[in-house]
Amino acid sequence: MLAIATVSAVVSSCIPSTPQQAEQQVLAEWLAFEKQDTLNPEEAAKIAEKLHAAGGDGIRQLLERLGSPDISATARVNITAALSPWVSPEHRDILLNLLKPEQPSTVRGCAAHLLCALYYRAHQLPGLEQQVMGLLRDEDSHVRMSTILALEVLGHPRGVEEAVAAWKRGEGTPQERAQILLGLPTELTQIHQDIVVEAALDSALPENARRHAVDLLSKLGNASAVGPLEEGISREQNAELARLMREAVDAITKRAGEGIQPIMLGPDGKLHSISPGTPQPETEKKQGDGS
């Protein structure tokens, strides 16, 4: 019994007795995590979830830390990933302050992402839509791209439209262009096959994005992708990607030979695989009719 009581006392001593203590404990955990200066959005999200559960203004404190000159770019990315599910209307003024022109570009880009996350969940807030859409014409290309990518991932039609336009203008770093490709709705693959083909062949893009592009073409590409892919195979330095391109060419060619159309969005908004029957030759029809 004494042992049980001792264990219970030790466990109890580890549990904060007030919400404020719980909040401070989690904030301390965040600061220890931040010192590692390692990009780890998953761990950041776990800590932010605990901070939200603790109540109080811990989320606000973490959000304000985004603008601190003492933290690294990695820490800012972790904060942005961590807070995306937790920003609420009460945080709008903080975000708008972080978006002021005098703020560093990286801070403004992160704040733009979070304002889009707020818009996704609270789009009815007066003036919020205008504030978000205004960022698409911001003078800072980093802010513009952060807004575009956030809206595209959220499935906003304007985000997809702006992402496609940015790609075709050649805007964005290789990582940002990879995100444009990865965020493109699958059902738009055929409409924007030129983007998907370009991504598959662009050696400057991260390999995961190029693999995704090749996979889309393998499943949904049409015959116009075959020529560029064949040309790309001949000069591809990555043997594995060259193999995947060859498989994509074979899959597209096989579908074309069988008269099978790739999966596409139907008028009812659902994905359909259209496989029309092979038309019967005219001579066979006549024989069947006894003509």
Close Cβ partners of 187 (under 8 Å, ≥ 6 residues apart): 264, 265, 271
| Lowest-pLDDT range of 20-24, 65-69, 161-165, 212-216 | 20-24
pLDDT, greater one: 268 or 189 = 189
The position carrying tokens 């690294």 is 72
Tokens at 167, concatenated: 């790609």
Split at pLDDT 50, 70, 90, the class of 258 is confident
Q: Model confidence over 191-201: pLDDT tens digits?
A: 999 999 999 99
CATH architecture of 186-259: Alpha Horseshoe (1.25)
**Quick one: pLDDT at residue 18?**
64
Q: How far is CA 224 from the centre of its chain?
A: 27
Q: What are phi and psi of 101, to 5 degrees?
A: -55, -30
Q: Is the pLDDT of residue 270 over 70?
A: no
Tokens at 205, concatenated: 């893009």
Strands 263-265, 271-273: pairing is antiparallel
**Quick one: pLDDT at residue 264?**
56
Q: Is the pLDDT of residue 131 over 90?
A: yes
The position carrying tokens 């924007």 is 192
Mean pLDDT of 164-176: 96
Close Cβ partners of 204 (under 8 Å, ≥ 6 residues apart): 174
CA distance 97 to 84: 17
**Quick one: pLDDT at residue 4?**
31
Split at pLDDT 50, 70, 90, the class of 14 is very low
Helices (H), the chain: 2-14, 19-35, 41-54, 58-65, 73-83, 92-98, 105-121, 128-134, 141-153, 157-168, 174-183, 193-201, 207-220, 226-235, 239-258, 282-289
Q: What are phi and psi of 174, to 5 degrees?
A: -55, -40
CA distance 43 to 34: 11
**Quick one: pLDDT at residue 11?**
31
**Which pTM was predicted?**
0.78
- Cβ–Cβ under 8 Å, residues 183 and 163: yes
Identify the H or E element spanning 273.
strand 271-273
Tokens at 282, concatenated: 């005219």
Q: What are phi and psi of 129, to 5 degrees?
A: -60, -45
**Quick one: pLDDT at residue 122?**
92
Mean pLDDT of 142-161: 95
pLDDT, greater one: 209 or 271 = 209
Mean pLDDT, all residues of the chain: 86
Q: Model confidence over 97-113: pLDDT tens digits?
A: 999 999 999 999 999 99
**Quick one: pLDDT at residue 56?**
81
DSSP 127: T
Distances (CA, A) of 89 to 42, 68, 118, 207: 24, 22, 7, 38
Mean pLDDT of 267-276: 43
Q: Is the pLDDT of residue 17 over 70?
A: no
Tokens at 103, concatenated: 């703020």
Mean pLDDT of 177-200: 95
Q: Is the pLDDT of residue 267 over 70?
A: no
**Quick one: pLDDT at residue 8?**
31
